[in-house]
Amino acid sequence: MNDTIAAISTALGVGAISIIRVSGKEAIPIVNRIFKGKDLTRALTHTITYGHIIDENEVVDEVLVSIMLAPKTFTTEDVVEINAHGGIVTTKRILELLLINGARLADAGEFTKRAFLNGRIDLTQAEGVMDLIESKTETARKLAMNQLSGKMSNRIRDFRQSIVEILANIEVNIDYPEYEDIEEMTQEKLLPPLEKMLKDMEYLIKESENGVLIKTGVKTAIIGSPNVGKSSLLNALLEQDKAIVTDVAGTTRDIVEGSIQLDGLILNMIDTAGIRDTKDKVEEIGVLKSKSILKEADFVLFVLNGNEAITDEEQNILNDLKGRNYLIVVNKSDLDRNLDLKEFDQDKVVQINTVTTDGIEPLKKKIIELFHMNQVETEDPSYLTNARSISLLKQASIALKQAYHALKNNTPVDLVEIDIKSAWDLLGEIIGETYQDALIDQLFSQFCLGK
Ligand SMILES: Nc1nc2c(ncn2[C@@H]2O[C@H](COP(=O)(O)OP(=O)(O)OP(=O)(O)O)[C@@H](O)[C@H]2O)c(=O)[nH]1
Ligand SMILES: [Mg+2]
C-alpha cells in the first residue's frame, strides 16, 4: 500500500470529460512531473488548478487538476484527480504518462479497498459503494446510499454491543459460581436480551432478503395449467403482445420473458408452458422447463381459470407453494365462476380478466405490497443487500439460537458462551472487523476499475 496507484475513473468512451485518479504518497509529485502550470506541490488541499498535461515538450491536453491532501480524501491518502477532455486516446495517454512517471495501474476496486484498509469505511460501506454504482432503480440507489452512509454498519455494531453485554453477564457467572441461584439468575438475565436480539435479527434477515430482490430484480414465474391465460397475463402486464395467445391448450412451449418496473421493483417475468401430462415431445420438454423455473423463482404468479374447478395437478402445485412468495391469479373473471375460492388464503387471491385488463392494476398493487415497497419508500430502510453479509447474519442468528436453547436447557454457561462468541465474530465479519486477506481481495476485485 506504499505505492501510488492510478486509473481512469470515468467510463472509457467518448464524453465531455474523463477523470484519471491518482492516490498515494507520490500522487502530487508524479502528476506535477507531467503538468505545466502552477507548482502542484504547493497547491492547497481541496483546490483545483488549471494547466496542461505535457509529454516532454508536447502538450497532450488542457486539464483541471483537483488536489486533495491526506487524510480527508476517499482513500485517506493524497489524491489527485485530473479532469481531462473526454476521449479514449487522450485519457489513455495521460494514464500512460502517469505510469511512466512512477504510478502503478490500480487493480479493480483498489481505491475503495484502500479506503477500507485505511479505516475510512468498513466492509458494509464498501459494498454500499459497489451497490450504488450498480443500482438500477431509485429504490436500489436509496438502499445502497443508506448502506454507504454507515447506517447498516451501526445496526450490526448495535448487535455486537448487545452481545458484549450478554458475555459480560456470563463472565460474572463463571467468575462467581458460588452465588446461590446463579443458574436461575443467569437465565433471567440472559434469555430476554437474547430473545430480543434473535427477533430483531430475523426481521433484518427477512427484510434484507427482500432488499436483495429490490436490488437485483425479482425472478417471477408465471405458472399454471394450459390455456388458463398465462401468456395473456404476461402481455397485459407488459402492455404489449409479446407472447403468442391462442385457444389451443399448449400454445407456449418455450419460455417467453419480459420485465416491468413497479414502484422501483423490477419484475423479470417468465411465461412458461402450461403444466400437464403430455405425449407431445416438444411440449413435454416445455413442461419440464416450467417445473424447473417454478423451483428457482423468487416469486410465482400462479394462474387459474376461474371458469373451471381446480385440478389435482393444480392443487399439488399450490401445496408446494406454501411458505414461498406467490399470488393466486384467478383469470377469466368475465366468465361464470366454477372455481371455489374459499379454500385459498384470501390475501393471496387476485381476480383478473386479461381481455379487458380488469384487475391488472389491483394485481400490481398487491405485488408492491408483498415486497413492502410502500414501506421502503416511506421508512428510509437500511438492509444488507448482498449474499455474503446475509449469509453471515444467518449464521450468527443460528449460533445465537443454539445458545438460547442451550441456556433454556440449563447447559453450563461456559458452553453457551462459545456460540455467543461465534455470533460476535460472524457479525464482525460482516463489517470487516475480523477478515481474511483472500476474502478482501476477492471482494474488491468485483469492483470496476478506477473505483
Ligand atoms: N374469456 C376470457 N378468455 C381469456 C382471458 N384471458 C385469456 N383468455 C383466452 O384463453 C385462451 C388461452 O390464453 P393464453 O394466454 O394463450 O393461455 P396460456 O395459459 O398461456 O396457455 P398455454 O400457453 O397453452 O399454456 C385464449 O383463447 C385467450 O384469448 C380472459 O380473461 N377471459
Ligand atoms: Mg401461453
pLDDT tens readout for residues 128-159: 988 888 888 888 888 899 889 999 999 999 99
Residue 335: CB within 6 Å of ligand 1? Answer: yes
- Kindly give the distance from the C-alpha atom of residue 190 to the centroid of ligand 1, in angstroms, as a whole number: 59
Give percent above pLDDT 90 in the chain. 72
Using the predicted structure, report yes or no on whether residue 260 has a pLDDT greater than 90.
yes
Using the predicted structure, report yes or no on whether residue 433 has a pLDDT greater than 90.
no
Name, of 18-22, 380-384, 432-436, the range with top average pLDDT. Answer: 18-22
Q: Which CATH class is domain 5-120?
A: alpha beta
The pLDDT tens digits for 60-89 are: 999 999 999 999 999 999 999 999 998 899
The b-or-e profile of 231-255 (16+ CB within 10 A means b, else e) is bbbbbbbbeeebbebeeeebbbbeb
* pLDDT for 182: 59
Cell representation of residue 189: 438475565
* pLDDT for 181: 61
Ligand 1 closest atom vs CA 253: 23
Residue 146: CB within 6 Å of ligand 1? Answer: no
Q: In 3D, which of 57, 69, 60, 56 has the Cα closest to residue 25?
A: 69
CATH number of the domain located at residue range(s) 123-432 in this protein: 3.40.50.300
* Statement: the pTM of the whole predicted model exceeds 0.85: no
pLDDT band at 172 (very low <50, low <70, confident <90, very high): confident
* pLDDT for 184: 61
pLDDT band at 387 (very low <50, low <70, confident <90, very high): confident
Which of the pair, 447 or 266, is modelled with greater confidence? Answer: 266
pLDDT band at 347 (very low <50, low <70, confident <90, very high): very high
* pLDDT for 87: 86
* pLDDT for 166: 87
Residue 332: CB within 6 Å of ligand 1? Answer: yes
Using the predicted structure, report yes or no on whether residue 116 has a pLDDT greater than 80.
yes
* pLDDT for 205: 94
* pLDDT for 445: 82
Residue 188: CB within 6 Å of ligand 1? Answer: no
The pLDDT tens digits for 295-334 are: 999 999 999 999 999 999 999 999 999 989 999 999 999 9
Distance CA 41, CA 35 (A): 11
Cell representation of residue 190: 440472559
Distance CA 106, CA 253 (A): 49
Residue 247: CB within 6 Å of ligand 1? Answer: yes
pLDDT band at 217 (very low <50, low <70, confident <90, very high): very high
Using the predicted structure, report yes or no on whether residue 351 has a pLDDT greater than 90.
yes
* pLDDT for 169: 79
Round the average pLDDT of the chain to a whole number and report it: 91
Pocket test for ligand 1, best of 222, 223, 227, 248 (most atoms within 8 A of CB): 227
C-alpha angle 365/252/303, rounded to 5°? Answer: 35
Residue 272: CB within 6 Å of ligand 1? Answer: no
Residues forming CATH 3.30.1360.120 domain(s) in the chain: 5-120
Residue 249: CB within 6 Å of ligand 1? Answer: yes
Q: Whose CA is nearest to atom 26 of ligand 1?
A: 247
Q: Whose CA is nearest to atom 8 of ligand 1?
A: 229
Taking residues 363-387, report their average pLDDT. 84
Residues forming CATH 3.40.50.300 domain(s) in the chain: 123-432
* pLDDT for 448: 79
* 265 contacts 139 by C-beta, under 8 angstroms: yes
Using the predicted structure, report yes or no on whether residue 120 has a pLDDT greater than 80.
yes
* pLDDT for 374: 72
Using the predicted structure, report yes or no on whether residue 176 has a pLDDT greater than 70.
no
pLDDT band at 270 (very low <50, low <70, confident <90, very high): very high
Ligand 1 closest atom vs CA 226: 25
Lowest-confidence segment of 225-239, 261-275, 351-365, 372-386 by average pLDDT: 372-386
Residue 351: CB within 6 Å of ligand 1? Answer: no
* pLDDT for 437: 79
Using the predicted structure, report yes or no on whether residue 245 has a pLDDT greater than 70.
yes
